[in-house]
Chain A
Amino acid sequence: MKKIIYVLTIVILLFSSTSCEDFLTEVSKSSITAENSFITAEDWDAALICSYAMLQKVTGQKLTIVLGEFGTDEVRPFNTSWAAYTELMYYTYTASHSFLYNHYVYSYEGVKSANTVIDMPSNSNMSDEDRTMLIAQARFLRGLFYFELVRMYGRIPLWTTSTVDPDEISKPRCESIDDAYELITGDLEYAAGILPETWSNSNDKGRATSYAAYAFLGRVYLQWGKSAEALEALNNVIGHFNLYDNYADIYSASHKNEEYENIFEVQWSHSGYWGLEGSLQSSYWGARGTGGPTAGGFGWGGFGPTQYLYGQYEDDDKRKTEFFWTEFNGVVQSPPAIKKYYDENYQDQIEDDDLNYVYMRYADVLLMASEALNNIDDSSGKKYEYLNQVRTRAGISSITENDGLSKSEFADVLLKERLLELCCERHRRFDLIRFGKLNEQVQAAYAGYGITVGENQATVYPIPQVAMDANDAMNENNPGY
Chain B
Amino acid sequence: MKKYIFLIVLFLGIVFEGFAQNTVSGVVTNYESEPLVGVTVVIDGTLTGVTTDADGRYSLDVNQNDVLVFSFVGMITQKVVYKGQKEINVNMISDNYNLDDVVVVGYGTSKRSDLTGSVSSVKVNDLKNTKVGLLGNALQGMASGVQVTQTNLKPGGSVSVVIRGKGSVNAGNGPLVIIDGVPGGFDQIATADIESIEILKDASAASIYGNRGSNGVILITSKKGVAGKTKVSFTAQGGVMNMVNKMDMMSAQQYYDLINSEGIEYTWKRDELLQLSRGETTDWQAAISEQGKFQNYNASVSGGSEKSSNYLGLDYYDMDGIIKNSNYNRITLRFNNDSKLNDWAHMGFRLNVLESKIKNINEETHELYGTIFSAVSAQPTAPIYGSDGEYFDGFLNTKANPVAMVDLLDKSTKVTHITGSFFVEFTPVKHLSIKTNNAATLHFAITDIYENPRMGQHYATEGVANITSSKSRYWQSENTITYDNKFGDHKIKAMVGVSASKSEAESSFAQAKGVDSVTKYYNLGGGSEFGPNSSSASASTLTSTYMRANYNYKDRYLATFTMRADGSSRFAPGHRWGYFPSLALAWRITEEDFMKSADYIDNLKLRVSAGMLGNQNIGNYLYQALVSEGGQHFNYVLNGVLYTGAAYSSIGNTNLTWEKSKQLDIALDYGFFGNRVAGSIDYYYKQSTDLLWNVTLPLESGYQSSYTNVGVLENKGIEFSLNTININKYNFQWTSTLNFTYNRNEVIELYDGKTDYNKQIFVGHSLNEFYMLESDGIWQLEEAAEAAVYGALPGDRKIVDNYEDNQINSDDRVFCGQSNPSYYGGLTNTFKYKDFDLVVFVTYAGGYKVRNSLLRFTNSYNTKGNSSVDYYNNYWRADRPSNKYPAPRIGSSYLNGDGTDAILEDGTYARIKNLELGYTLPKRWTKLLKATSLRAYFSVQNVYTFTKYTGYDIEASAQSNPYPGSRAFIGGISINF
A and B held together in a complex:
yes
* Count of CB-CB pairs between chains A and B under 8 Å: 289
Which of A31-39, A213-221, A237-245, A359-367 participates in binding chain B? A31-39
CA distance A83 to B704 in the complex (A): 26
Q: How far is the CB of B512 from chain A (nearest CB, A)?
A: 9
Asked if B651 is at the interface of the complex by the 8 Å CB criterion, the answer is: yes
Q: Verify A108–B791 contact, CB threshold 8 A.
A: no
Residue of A nearest to B466 (CB): A274
Q: Verify A49–B698 contact, CB threshold 8 A.
A: no
Residue of A nearest to B367 (CB): A82
Residue of A nearest to B529 (CB): A272
Q: How far is the CB of A355 from chain B (nearest CB, A)?
A: 12
Asked if A380 is at the interface of the complex by the 8 Å CB criterion, the answer is: no
Asked if B365 is at the interface of the complex by the 8 Å CB criterion, the answer is: no
Q: Verify B394–A295 contact, CB threshold 8 A.
A: yes
Asked if B696 is at the interface of the complex by the 8 Å CB criterion, the answer is: yes
Which of A2-10, A384-392, A401-409, A413-421 participates in binding chain B? A2-10
Asked if B540 is at the interface of the complex by the 8 Å CB criterion, the answer is: yes
CA distance A94 to B808 in the complex (A): 9
Asked if A246 is at the interface of the complex by the 8 Å CB criterion, the answer is: no
Residue of A nearest to B621 (CB): A28
Q: How far is the CB of A472 from chain B (nearest CB, A)?
A: 7
Residue of B nearest to A111 (CB): B702
Query: What size tier do the contact residues of chain B reach?
Result: 35 or more
Q: Which residues of B lie under 8 Å from residue A273 when comparing CB positions? A: 531-532, 632, 642
CA distance A275 to B531 in the complex (A): 9
Q: How far is the CB of B326 from chain A (nearest CB, A)?
A: 26
Residue of A nearest to B788 (CB): A452
Q: Which residues of A lie under 8 Å from residue B109 when comparing CB positions? A: none
Q: How far is the CB of A4 from chain B (nearest CB, A)?
A: 6
CA distance A113 to B703 in the complex (A): 11
Asked if A377 is at the interface of the complex by the 8 Å CB criterion, the answer is: no
Asked if A193 is at the interface of the complex by the 8 Å CB criterion, the answer is: no
Residue of A nearest to B395 (CB): A296
Q: Verify B809–A50 contact, CB threshold 8 A.
A: no
Asked if B476 is at the interface of the complex by the 8 Å CB criterion, the answer is: no
Q: How far is the CB of B515 from chain A (nearest CB, A)?
A: 12
- A15, A113, A157, A295: the one contacting B700 at CB < 8 Å is A157
Q: Which residues of A lie under 8 Å from residue B573 when comparing CB positions? A: 21, 25
CA distance A111 to B642 in the complex (A): 21
CA distance A33 to B627 in the complex (A): 6
Q: How far is the CB of B518 from chain A (nearest CB, A)?
A: 21
Asked if A80 is at the interface of the complex by the 8 Å CB criterion, the answer is: yes
Q: Verify B638–A206 contact, CB threshold 8 A.
A: yes
CA distance A410 to B196 in the complex (A): 87
CA distance A229 to B624 in the complex (A): 46
* CB-CB under 8 A for A24 and B567, given A14-B436, A33-B627, A49-B644: yes
Asked if B639 is at the interface of the complex by the 8 Å CB criterion, the answer is: yes
Q: Verify A293–B457 contact, CB threshold 8 A.
A: yes
Tell me what chain B mostly uses at the interface: helix, strand, loop, or mixed. loop
Q: Which residues of A lie under 8 Å from residue B436 when comparing CB positions? A: 10, 14
* CB-CB under 8 A for A28 and B626, given A3-B344, A95-B810, A296-B395: yes
Asked if A69 is at the interface of the complex by the 8 Å CB criterion, the answer is: no
Residue of B nearest to A43 (CB): B646
Asked if B485 is at the interface of the complex by the 8 Å CB criterion, the answer is: no
CA distance A83 to B397 in the complex (A): 12
Q: Verify B498–A15 contact, CB threshold 8 A.
A: yes
**Contact indicator per residue, chain A 457-480, by CB within 8 Å of chain B (1) or not (0):** 000000011110111110000001
Residue of B nearest to A171 (CB): B700
Q: Verify A92–B891 contact, CB threshold 8 A.
A: yes
Q: Verify A472–B754 contact, CB threshold 8 A.
A: yes
* CB-CB under 8 A for A31 and B703, given A50-B646, A268-B637, A269-B640: no
Q: Verify A37–B646 contact, CB threshold 8 A.
A: yes
Q: Verify A267–B636 contact, CB threshold 8 A.
A: yes
Q: Verify B637–A96 contact, CB threshold 8 A.
A: no
Q: Verify B810–A465 contact, CB threshold 8 A.
A: yes
Q: Which residues of A lie under 8 Å from residue B700 when comparing CB positions? A: 108, 111, 156-157, 159, 171, 467, 471
Q: How far is the CB of B600 from chain A (nearest CB, A)?
A: 50
Q: Verify A104–B699 contact, CB threshold 8 A.
A: yes
CA distance A467 to B627 in the complex (A): 24
Q: How far is the CB of B822 from chain A (nearest CB, A)?
A: 27
CA distance A10 to B696 in the complex (A): 50
Q: Verify B479–A467 contact, CB threshold 8 A.
A: no
Q: Verify A46–B428 contact, CB threshold 8 A.
A: no
Q: Which residues of A lie under 8 Å from residue B541 when comparing CB positions? A: 23-24, 26
Q: Verify B538–A29 contact, CB threshold 8 A.
A: yes
Asked if B291 is at the interface of the complex by the 8 Å CB criterion, the answer is: no
CA distance A30 to B509 in the complex (A): 14
- A53, A104, A202: the one contacting B635 at CB < 8 Å is A53
Q: Which residues of A lie under 8 Å from residue B576 when comparing CB positions? A: 21, 24
Residue of B nearest to A467 (CB): B699
Q: Verify A49–B645 contact, CB threshold 8 A.
A: yes
CA distance A83 to B458 in the complex (A): 19
Q: Verify B531–A274 contact, CB threshold 8 A.
A: yes
Q: Verify A26–B635 contact, CB threshold 8 A.
A: no
Q: Verify A56–B642 contact, CB threshold 8 A.
A: no
Q: Verify A81–B539 contact, CB threshold 8 A.
A: no
Q: Verify A20–B428 contact, CB threshold 8 A.
A: no
CA distance A367 to B267 in the complex (A): 41
Q: Verify B636–A53 contact, CB threshold 8 A.
A: yes
Question: Which residues, 350 to 386 on A, are CB-close (under 8 Å) to B?
Answer: 350-351
Question: Which residues, 266 to 293 on A, are CB-close (under 8 Å) to B?
Answer: 267-269, 271-277, 292-293
**Contact indicator per residue, chain A 84-125, by CB within 8 Å of chain B (1) or not (0):** 001101101011100000001100110111011000000000
CA distance A295 to B456 in the complex (A): 10
Q: Which residues of B lie under 8 Å from residue A480 when comparing CB positions? A: 807
Q: How far is the CB of B530 from chain A (nearest CB, A)?
A: 7
Asked if A447 is at the interface of the complex by the 8 Å CB criterion, the answer is: no
Question: Which residues, 428 to 481 on A, are CB-close (under 8 Å) to B?
Answer: 449-452, 464-467, 469-473, 480-481
Q: Verify A203–B638 contact, CB threshold 8 A.
A: yes
Question: Which residues, 645 to 659 on B, are CB-close (under 8 Å) to A?
Answer: 645-649, 651-652
Q: Verify B636–A30 contact, CB threshold 8 A.
A: no
- B629, B638, B863: the one contacting A204 at CB < 8 Å is B638
Asked if A47 is at the interface of the complex by the 8 Å CB criterion, the answer is: yes
CA distance A438 to B882 in the complex (A): 36
- A25, A29, A115, A116: the one contacting B569 at CB < 8 Å is A25
Q: How far is the CB of A193 from chain B (nearest CB, A)?
A: 23
Q: Verify A47–B645 contact, CB threshold 8 A.
A: yes
CA distance A89 to B891 in the complex (A): 8
Asked if B278 is at the interface of the complex by the 8 Å CB criterion, the answer is: no
* CB-CB under 8 A for A53 and B645, given A206-B639, A295-B393, A349-B461: yes
CA distance A163 to B479 in the complex (A): 46
CA distance A277 to B511 in the complex (A): 14
Q: Which residues of A lie under 8 Å from residue B641 when comparing CB positions? A: 203, 269
Question: Which residues, 875 to 890 on B, are CB-close (under 8 Å) to A?
Answer: 890
Residue of B nearest to A473 (CB): B698
- A23, A37, A169: the one contacting B701 at CB < 8 Å is A169
Q: Which residues of A lie under 8 Å from residue B472 when comparing CB positions? A: none
Which of B71-79, B665-673, B892-900, B934-942 participates in binding chain A? B892-900
Q: Which residues of A lie under 8 Å from residue B793 when comparing CB positions? A: 450
Q: Verify B393–A292 contact, CB threshold 8 A.
A: yes
Q: Verify A470–B697 contact, CB threshold 8 A.
A: yes
Q: Verify A116–B640 contact, CB threshold 8 A.
A: no
Asked if B634 is at the interface of the complex by the 8 Å CB criterion, the answer is: yes
CA distance A5 to B610 in the complex (A): 40
Asked if A17 is at the interface of the complex by the 8 Å CB criterion, the answer is: yes
- A43, A269, A295: the one contacting B457 at CB < 8 Å is A295
Asked if B785 is at the interface of the complex by the 8 Å CB criterion, the answer is: no
Q: Verify B891–A26 contact, CB threshold 8 A.
A: no
- A11, A34, A450, A471: the one contacting B699 at CB < 8 Å is A471
Residue pairs across A and B with Cβ atoms less than 8 A apart, 12 shown, are A7-B428, A14-B434, A14-B479, A30-B538, A34-B652, A81-B863, A116-B648, A203-B638, A297-B267, A351-B460, A450-B891, A469-B760
A-B residue pairs, 3 tightest by C-beta = A112-B702, A50-B645, A295-B394
Task: With A26-B539, A37-B646, A94-B810 given, name 5 new contacts (CB 8 A).
Answer: A33-B626, A53-B633, A112-B647, A273-B642, A274-B531
